[in-house]
A and B are shown apart, each in its own frame.
Chain A
């Protein structure tokens, strides 16, 4: 068959041709299902070890896909984790029988990283309890399958809160520590993975090991931000803090680059406790700024607010009115903005979450809004993570790609404070190699809005975004699963081979999360 040349990042005339997805091999987008060799003997061994394995559609159906909804696969059987000992027994048996084990927490991956293509699905949400809260030391010990939201529920009873976590109620602690985790306070507090003090890890060969920066440090470095390749996190000790409601401020921009410059200015000067950018369109950009205390808010008002070039809501509405009055042919765009504003804005101001002008439970507010107004059965969220100086270019180029592929989309940008002592954790992770002090991340999320797009359209879109990352020497949050074809392009053979060799030593049968990275 003759394959016509296609422009990089686009779909060729034959969407099922082997080379239709430029830059990524077809077999990497859709892993083959494990053939099941030796399954029955493995099941017998598990039974003898007292590990409960569930089979059948009632047990496996819930795992058919992940939050992305574009990768589908089913395990042969499911183990709901109950304790580290069971996880260890499972991994030992899996090594012996060479049965793949896919670990799943909240299942919020978008590239099929938590989808099992045969083998065992290890569901960590069975281990989801708070084990101990040490209020004086401001730490908490949890089972790693716990949802951040469930953790917040228990911490609140002690008037405590976690430091930073994804703005999504159903992210699990273990899954987040394995990939990063960003919050609107990450520019100040770092990513969620940086909040871990110590971990209990079950290695791929079934040893249960406690690790931290001072104990089994190499394992700690590999498991944190390790995309599940070097062990299963079963328990974690995390730093926590006193709970505070937030004073929220919103500033509106018609220029992405101006908004990003102001965001970075605030971060550099430690001018706010929370900061981030969320767009409705690329001409309607919201810079969110928030504070934990009245003192910090007063200092911002006195020293930094006047330097921001964004408008308040009313002032921006006037600007937009003027803009569209002169461009009546863009009435559709104006109507979309208006509809979106009317739908989304009240979600962030629900009275039951506001007390005396302050927002309580920000993750609930944001997460519910995100699922309601951005969620759908298909979600693709390619991202770019760059050093501060390359971020504007990355976002503007990514924005141009979004425009080409989808009528409407949202960009979500935040800074991530880096910890120099954690540099070993950051190797081959979402933290870009050249970043100093801060890394910046942007997620590009198309609005599906009931439309039906092919997987190839989504894949071509993601490829086009990721091509920018290759060009800029950036990194990505979601480089596993269907996007793993980019791993060698972005990190280079030497680093990937180094990690592959470590993986082979740690996981001789290569059974743990085997379709994610390697």
Chain B
């Protein structure tokens, strides 16, 4: 386990990260914000003392593009999570889930040459939609999509070097569409030679889908992928909005509001009150006819709080 980086030392306390932080919005307590974590670290607080906010962070990445000091705040949280106590009550269940994903990955065959699509567990659980996405993209679907690695990144779990090497060796130099925003974020660092895109942006670029996005739609961008490639994607989605007239889940800073705010102990659990409140806030003052989500996981909170159709982006294309 590496020692935590010293990036937090550069935090000047401007609080800009608080404004976009769903964790802060939920708790209204500066301890529950990237700034709170960085400032506490500057005063010598350990990961154990910061357990509550480290568990509460959903790693949506909204804080990263707004930090004027350029601190990688998501990386700070991910690193500190590695130092949380292994005795936390849910740790064993997360380790077991990671091991299950790793076992499936070990059995995966090497993918054929060419562009690849890494769906992630949520989409893989819906074979019909998965097949539709694959057909629309025209990419092969990777049987090893790094689900165990994505989970480890999120939860502070360990990633064996050999496992990481095997995963990356199969992907390097390819065109990749990645369903998991957190994994995509990390692949940008690990695979500088790969042509990476989020699943949402890849699908929204396809004309059969793009031309069916309506001005009465509320289009929900997957926040992790968006914030990880903010400077490019803010322009991309600005064009999408200008072309289609749809409303986006962007705040006034053009930061994506996440529909889900999963805290560490309930990553694999059911919807929480916080998710429902977040979805309600996203829809406040809006009257869309339809909600279009990039991430399948974002469907549930909207289906809970409204009775208009909630579609995955791939479902927009006609059969």
Contacts and interface: CB of A to CB of B under 8 A. Distances in A.
A107 B13 contact: yes
B19 interface: yes
Most A CB contacts (10 A, CB to CB) among B31, B39, B41, B252 go to B252
Given A62-B31, A125-B30, A126-B29, A149 B252 contact: yes
Contacts of A361: 252-253
Given A58-B50, A62-B31, A128-B28, A352 B235 contact: yes
A123 B66 CA distance: 23
Contacts of B50: 58
B253 A364 contact: yes
A106 interface: yes
Contacts of B16: 169-170, 367-368, 371
Interface string B196-211: 0000000000000000
B12 interface: yes
Interface string A162-206: 000000011000000000000000000000000000000000000
B28 A153 contact: no
A60 B30 CA distance: 10
A149 B49 contact: no
Interface residues on chain B, size class: 20 to 34
Contacts of B43: 57-58, 60-61, 64, 74
A69 B13 CA distance: 9
Contacts of B31: 54, 58-59, 62
Contacts of B44: 57, 61
Contacts of B19: 147, 149-150, 169-170
A64 B15 contact: no
A140 to B, nearest CB: 13
A157 B284 contact: yes
A376 B36 CA distance: 18
Given A149-B252, A169-B16, A375 B40 contact: no
Nearest to A363: B252
A137 to B, nearest CB: 18
A377 interface: yes
Contacts of B68: 368, 371-372, 375
Contact of A158 (B15, B30, B285): B285
Contact of B36 (A62, A127, A372): A62
A170 B15 contact: yes
A425 to B, nearest CB: 28
A454 B161 CA distance: 47
Contacts of B29: 80, 123, 126
B238 interface: yes
A463 interface: no
A112 to B, nearest CB: 13
A328 interface: no
Nearest to B52: A58
Most B CB contacts (10 A, CB to CB) among A54, A154, A169 go to A169
Given A61-B40, A364-B253, A67 B14 contact: yes
B25 to A, nearest CB: 8
A152 interface: yes
A343 B62 CA distance: 23
Given A147-B19, A152-B252, A170-B18, A377 B40 contact: no
A156 interface: yes
Interface of B: 12-16, 18-19, 28-31, 35-36, 39-45, 49-50, 66, 68, 234-235, 238, 251-254, 284-286
6 closest cross-chain pairs (CB), A and B: A157-B285, A61-B43, A62-B39, A371-B68, A61-B40, A170-B15
